[in-house]
Amino acid sequence: MDMRGKTVLITGSTDGVGRYVATRLAAEGADVLIHGRDAARAKTLIDEIVKAGRAAPTFYQADLSSMAGARELAAAVIRDHKRLDVFVSNAGIGSQNDGPQRQESRDGYELRFAVNYLSGFLLVRLLLPLLKAAAPSRIVNVASLGQHPIDFDDVMITKGYSGSRAYAQSKLSQIMFTIDLAEELKGAGITVNALHPATYMNTTMVRAGGIAPMSTVEQGGAAILHLVEGDDVAARSGLFFNGMNEARANPQAYDADARRQLRALSLKLTGLSS
């Protein structure tokens, strides 16, 4: 895909792999919309892109740990733009951010489920009119090989909690949503794919977990960019990739009943249905 003039929103793009992808797409002439919580960090990215001779990206500050924050971000993008060619749902927190203990969002939801999955689910739903207006368009969900089946009797993991389980459940939820939404959008000209970009990239999230990086943001960024602009995936949807290669997710991702349960729960928790 020729990215010149394409409008691309990347959540979590003031640091890590999201920052790398934003920089690359700006260099290719895309109209890049960056998102994060830290305005100072965003300014350094904007300055870097402008210094390279490219148009300044637009920064949207939002806290995606609350559904209100996600709604505010969507409203701002809708206010400023009539179309969205690509949405990269990259914002997230790891298994150890602010400690391994169970934490809750402002809405009272388990924090990793809220940030890594629910906020992206809500954003996509709210931004669908812009994505449809730009068709052919693409949605890319940055997930993980770390996946844990959802216990629908205890989705918020009030029993037997661990940060790694919560993180892995949120990432499987992203993949289940990817498959579900791809089926819903058949014929609409919007592809939806998810990926594990690379294992333990040299990011703040990985270092916060006390893990020695095993790969680079450049490697992970290349995998994300493949789904954003690769011609070979232009008509492929509902897939999970490990890096550059198509892969199989946890079996629950392919359970239609489980996906229906997750969809109904997600619509309720995000306030899109009562």
Q: pLDDT tier at 200 (50, 70, 90 boundaries)?
A: low
Query: Model confidence over 162-196: pLDDT tens digits?
Result: 999 999 999 999 999 999 999 999 999 999 999 99
167 noted as active-site residue: yes
Determine which one of 20, 60, 117, 167 is catalytic: 167
- Which of the 8 DSSP states describes residue 260? H
Report pLDDT for 65.
96
Sign of the alpha-carbon dihedral angle for 101, 112, 68, 35: positive
- Domain map (residue ranges) of the chain: 7-269
Rounded distance, CA 85 to CA 6, Å? 6
Q: pLDDT tier at 203 (50, 70, 90 boundaries)?
A: low
Describe the strand order of the beta sheet including 86-89 as a list of residue ranges. 58-61, 31-36, 7-10, 86-89, 137-142, 190-196, 239-242, 245-247
Rounded distance, CA 152 to CA 266, Å? 12
- Is it true that domain 7-269 has CATH number 3.40.50.720? yes
Q: What is the CA radius of gyration of the chain?
A: 17
Rounded distance, CA 105 to CA 119, Å? 11
